[in-house]
Amino acid sequence: MRNQHTEVIKELHSVQEKKPILDHLISESTFMVGELEEKILSAVELLITIKEGRDKIRAEHELVMLDVRELRKSVITVSPSFCSALIFFHLLLRKLWMRHIVLIHPAKWVREIVEPCTKGC
C-alpha cells in the first residue's frame, strides 16, 4: 500500500509540474486563434472591396465602350478628313475625361491640336 501511495504522489508531482506549461500553451493557442480570426476578417473585407472596385471598373468600361461605338458610327457618317478624325478624337477624349479616365484636359487638346487644324482646313 505504501508503495502505491508513493507512486501516486510521484505522478501527482509530475502532473503539477506539467500543468503551468500546458496552461501557457493553451493561452498562446487562444491568442493565436484570435489573431487568425482578425486576419480572416480583414482578408474578407479586402476581397469585398476589390470585388466592388472590379465591378465599378467593369461598369465604367461598358459605358466607355458604348461611347466608342457611338462615336465610331458618327465618324463613319462624317467625311473622312484629317480634321474630322481630330474632332472625333477630341470628342472621345472629352467623354473619357468626363468620366475621369483620361487626365488630359479637353480645353488643352482643343487649343493645341483641334484649333490649328480647323484654321488650316
Residue 51 has φ and ψ, to the nearest 5°, of: -65, -40
Tens digit of pLDDT for each residue in 47-57?
Answer: 999 999 999 88
Contact 120, 86 (CB under 8 A): no
17 and 52 in a single domain? The answer is yes
101: Cβ–Cβ under 8 A, 6 or more apart, which residues? 60, 64
Residue 24 has pLDDT above 90, yes or no: yes
User: Within 10 A of 90 (CB to CB), how many other CB atoms are there?
Assistant: 16
Q: What is the pLDDT of residue 30?
A: 95
Q: Mean per-residue pLDDT for 86-94?
A: 69
Residue 42 pLDDT class (50, 70, 90 cuts): very high
**71 belongs to a structural domain:** no
User: Does residue 49 fall inside a structural domain?
Assistant: yes
Average pLDDT, the chain: 76
| Same domain as 56, residue 99 | no
Candidates 118, 89, 83, 84; CA nearest to 104 is: 89
Q: Are residues 85 and 40 in the same domain?
A: no
The arithmetic mean of pLDDT across residues 23-35, rounded, is 95
- Confidence tier at 86 by pLDDT (50, 70, 90): low
Say if residue 54 is in the same domain as residue 4: yes
Number of domains in the chain: 2
Output the pLDDT for position 45: 95
- Quick one: 117 and 86 in the same domain? yes
Range of the domain at 104: 78-121
